[in-house]
Amino acid sequence: QVQLVESGGGLVQAGGSLRLSCAASGGTFSMYQMGWFRQAPGKEREAVAVITRSGSSTYYADSVKGRFTISRDNAKNMVYLQMNSLKPEDTAVYFCAADTRSVGLSPSAWSSWGQGTQVTVSS
């Protein structure tokens, strides 16, 4: 089972940028599809972005398209989420997730999770 540790969250003003990082260990990283999810207070966890094992394909939620970019470095066992033009509605705890299967976007389908990192966007 891969272990995941997120970093890079914080407080930023609307319109600003943050880069989240997720370090993976304990597994063959290139075998894992990777995803970023978020959960705002009182809301369900939702998929933000997903990247395939090779990095050749990505998915983005409509709410973040054109603003967020997911990427991975299989040599460093890292996955990133570059977040630009942040909005107050992006405020949430952001989680990194991994699975060896080509799972869908439902959080319940993903097998490995990090502890999350808080992103707060002030207006």
pLDDT per residue as tens digits for the range 62-76:
999 999 999 999 999
pLDDT per residue as tens digits for the range 31-50:
999 999 999 999 999 999 99
pLDDT at 27 over 90: no
Rounded CA gap, 5 and 67, in Å? 23
- DSSP bridge partners of 68: 83
- Sequence-distant (6+) residues with CB within 8 A of 86 are 12, 14, 15, 16, 17, 18, 67, 119, 121
On average, the pLDDT of the chain sits at 97
